[in-house]
Chain A
Amino acid sequence: MRDTNSGQVPGRRRFLDILLGTGVFLWLGSVLYPVAKYFVPPAQSGPDVSSVEAARVDELAPGSFMIFRFGRMPGILIHLKDGSYRALSARCTHLDCTVQFKSDTEQIWCACHNGLYDTEGRNISGPPPKPLERFDVVIKGDKVFVRKGELT
């Protein structure tokens, strides 16, 4: 049997203890660090949505419009009098108010500061500095899908 007071064994044991302790500590850190980081919400708080089912065909009469959720922002879907659909971002380029469609003048209007766009989304009057973003409209069966497209 070894003499545990010789100084040799405690030294080795201490070394092993430190080695094991450090190992366990590092291992815990390498597990907990990614988990902690994972909990931190990214700058962008949700996924980009590239396509969304905005409405049913029978839901929207010609000349009317609706606001729909497009991921994290509002979109506007307009059923024009000629029967075609138009989808745009509903966020006014001036100060992010939600726009609406005036069917009498066939213009998109922002109530906040009287900004006006035409049905193509071009800013034609008032403070808006830029046109509204256009989206593609795809009709599949009786559903109207809106998607971020390359075709615009």
Chain B
Amino acid sequence: MSVLEWIDERLNVGQARQFLLKKEVPLFYGTVWYYLGGITLFLFAVQVVTGILLLLYYQPGETTAYESVKFLVSKVQFGWLVREIHSWSANLFIFFAFLHMFTVYFAKAYRKPRELTWVSGMVLLVLGLAFGFSGYLLPWNELAYFATRVGSDVAGSIPVVGGFLLRMMRAGDDVSGATLTRFHGIHVAVLPAIFTIVLGIHLTLIQIQGMMLLIMSILERVAALHWFHLDKQKIITIYLIH
């Protein structure tokens, strides 16, 4: 207790503690639709931890990238596990980010006053996809190489600016060691930095505004009132809300 007091005297954390202790959440927050953002956040944390672990053995570079991944999964203890978790969690992250987005969309939770939360969320989604695209090249195998070639070709087909974008992405005219170096830097430094800032904004907004009372609240009330016509009522309620 004295440690807390010591800190409190200097930093005045009492208010923050009060906020954490007396945080208001909807009564029905137990519904699964409220979990999706949290699950996505959890998966992001898994990505950060496993990504840092992978950095301990991964060697970016034309001649070393592929070999170091092979070394990681075959020689390093539990290297295969860390890599697989990073890969699986990446896919699940995108999956739950989309589920989260659709839930917010269909609940119309993007409306005033939560427009900024929605916009920052969309930025996070795009950043998440950029994470996926840049990370896909790093194993430096045939699949990664051609996926990046095709992917950057798509960007290259944009009128007027396409050629410039293509060169910016590939760090040259073709996918090469320079592309790998660039994608690695983007994947482990540039994107995490931007993502962390936007995520901070996203989470702060949620804390400030609180959770939206989702359709579920109305459904539950309806369910309580009309036990016997639950299914019909549900259908009607959903119809009315939209």
Across the interface, do A48 and B71 meet the contact criterion of CB distance under 8 Å? yes
Q: Which single member of A39, A44, A50, A71 contacts B56 (CB below 8 Å)?
A: A39
Across the interface, do A34 and B78 meet the contact criterion of CB distance under 8 Å? yes
B87 at the interface (CB under 8 A from A): no
How many B residues, CB 8 Å from partner?
17
Across the interface, do B81 and A47 meet the contact criterion of CB distance under 8 Å? no
How many A residues, CB 8 Å from partner?
18
User: How many angstroms from the CA of A138 to the CA of B64 in the assembled complex?
Assistant: 18
Across the interface, do B75 and A42 meet the contact criterion of CB distance under 8 Å? yes
A46 at the interface (CB under 8 A from B): yes
Contacts of B108 in A (CB 8 A): none
Inter-chain CB contacts under 8 Å: number: 45
Contacts of B77 in A (CB 8 A): 34, 37-38, 40, 42
Across the interface, do B75 and A49 meet the contact criterion of CB distance under 8 Å? no
Q: Which single member of B67, B75, B79 contacts A50 (CB below 8 Å)?
A: B67
**Taking A47-B64, A49-B64, A53-B63 as contacts, is the C-beta distance between A38 and B71 under 8 angstroms?**
no
Nearest B residue to A50, CB-CB: B67
Across the interface, do B78 and A44 meet the contact criterion of CB distance under 8 Å? no
A50 to chain B, nearest CB (A): 7
Nearest B residue to A69, CB-CB: B63
A124 at the interface (CB under 8 A from B): no
| Interface hits, B23-79 → A, CB 8 Å | 53, 56, 59, 62-64, 67-68, 70-71, 75-79
| Interface hits, A20-73 → B, CB 8 Å | 34-35, 37-40, 42-44, 46-53, 71
**Taking A35-B53, A38-B53 as contacts, is the C-beta distance between A44 and B63 under 8 angstroms?**
no
B82 at the interface (CB under 8 A from A): yes
User: How many angstroms from the CA of A92 to the CA of B56 in the assembled complex?
Assistant: 32
Contacts of A53 in B (CB 8 A): 62-63
A46 to chain B, nearest CB (A): 7
User: How many angstroms from the CA of A48 to the CA of B75 in the assembled complex?
Assistant: 11
Contacts of B82 in A (CB 8 A): 34, 38
Across the interface, do A42 and B76 meet the contact criterion of CB distance under 8 Å? yes
User: How many angstroms from the CA of A42 to the CA of B71 in the assembled complex?
Assistant: 10
List, sorted by A's number, 30 A–B pairs whose CB atoms are closer than 8 Å: A34-B77, A34-B78, A34-B82, A35-B53, A37-B77, A37-B78, A38-B56, A38-B76, A38-B77, A38-B82, A40-B77, A42-B71, A42-B76, A42-B77, A44-B75, A46-B59, A46-B71, A47-B64, A47-B67, A47-B70, A47-B71, A47-B75, A48-B67, A48-B71, A49-B63, A49-B64, A50-B67, A51-B63, A53-B62, A53-B63
A38-B82, A52-B63 known; 14 new pairs, CB 8 Å cut-off, are A38-B77, A38-B79, A42-B71, A42-B76, A42-B77, A44-B71, A46-B59, A46-B68, A47-B67, A47-B71, A49-B63, A50-B67, A51-B63, A53-B62
Binding site for B on A (CB under 8 A): 34-35, 37-40, 42-44, 46-53, 71
